[in-house]
Amino acid sequence: MNVHEYQAKEILAGFGVPVLRGRIAYTAAEARAAAETLGGGVWAVKAQVHAGGRGKAGGIKVARSVDAVTAAAEELIGKRLVTPQTGAEGTEVSRVYVEEGASITAERYLGMTLDRKCGRYVAMASTEGGVEIEQVAATTPDKIQTVVIDPAVGMRAYQARELAFALDLEPDARRSAERTILAFATDASLVEINPLAVIEDGTVLALDAKMNFDDNALFRHPDIGELRDETEEDARETEATNYGLSYIKLDGNIGCMVNGAGLAMATLDLITFEGGRPANFLDVGGGATEERVSQAFKIILSDPDVEAVLVNIFGGIMRCDTIAEGIVGAVREVSLHVPLVVRLEGTNVDLGTRILAESGLAITTAGDLGDAARKIVAATGGVS
């Protein structure tokens, strides 16, 4: 789950990380009122979307009068902001964050994320603040200092000092950075402060903040779960979550329903190998009910890009007859209009196959995964 910049700053501020004062606004009038309340002579008006690269896309504007704040908000609210992370279609800006200005003397980078290669969190610090960390890693990797965090003990004070020294700051700013680093204390899968700004009095503060969370950890943080903005998410992904399904929209035309993340990835790979383009990743899980399977099928078919559907199920915990009944029920309810290939294997596979055969529906069965991939690609016209 992603959160907006202003929400990430509220979370960080709760742990003692310094941030600038700001107010959220949904209209230009609210933005004007926010600037008047904050006071001062300069403000930043920031589009709030779940995507990086806002500044380069014109989503962050500096205003030096209340009238300029109003004009900036009018320009941004309702605009479709296109950044490298949104794709060509962009995402609509529904709110802006009006933030007070500050006299900044230096910019640095701080981040923490999960390194899946070593199975631990990794904290990073760099003197190259305000620059995409991927660009720094590609061009000047020696400017990134990293420490690996043992999950049994968490971030240690000496590690925070090591990172703070890597930021090349004056003593007061360095000690402020240490406190900021040690404040990271959530189940976030990513925390990024870029830039970490140094202001005139030597304090460091989070000038920008990005956080996302593993949905599986939100039960421990109901307050963070309430920050979810479903308008920033694909409606199908949100609906899938409500049914306990794992769904991710892709850019192809072959809908996929599979049980198990590993099998789902293998299915996508085989479709691609045969020349097809998967339209989604969808894992119905190991213990899905007939209702969940039916809902999964409806979610796939609600995608206008889907021209064919492949169902690939290995029935271990899940029985093939349950899957078959869910498929038949869903196909009848939604009036299937695209080719459907089903590959079943495992518990009650003979019963499941018989249910599909006796349904009277236009369902093509496959003997193995390779056969299924070839048939579904052929159903969409062959290699694309």
Which positions are annotated as active-site residues? 109, 192
Q: For the packed helices 261-273 and 369-379, what is the interaxial angle rounded to 10 degrees?
A: 50
Residues in the chain: 384
Helix ranges restricted to H, the chain: 5-14, 28-38, 66-76, 133-139, 157-166, 171-182, 222-225, 235-242, 261-273, 290-301, 320-334, 349-357, 369-379
43, 161, 195, 258 from 61: Cα distances, Å: 8, 34, 16, 45
* Torsion, CA 120, CA 123, CA 124, CA 130, rounded to 10: 120
The vertex-59 CA angle with 54 and 63, nearest 5°, equals 130
Contact (Cβ atoms closer than 8 angstroms) between residue 288 and residue 321: no
Beta strands 364-365; 340-346: pairing state:
parallel
- What single DSSP character describes residue 85? T
- Structure tokens that stand for 257 in this block: 């329903």
Tokens 């990024």 found at: 192
Contact (Cβ atoms closer than 8 angstroms) between residue 167 and residue 180: no
Alpha-carbon distance of 18 to 297, in angstroms, equals: 47
Alpha-carbon distance of 293 to 306, in angstroms, equals: 17
Nearest to 195 by CA among 136, 116, 141, 140: 136
The sign of the CA dihedral 297, 301, 306, 308 is positive
Beta strands 204-206; 188-199: pairing state:
antiparallel
Alpha carbon of residue 382 to chain centroid: 32
The vertex-352 CA angle with 351 and 356, nearest 5°, equals 115
Contact (Cβ atoms closer than 8 angstroms) between residue 312 and residue 281: no
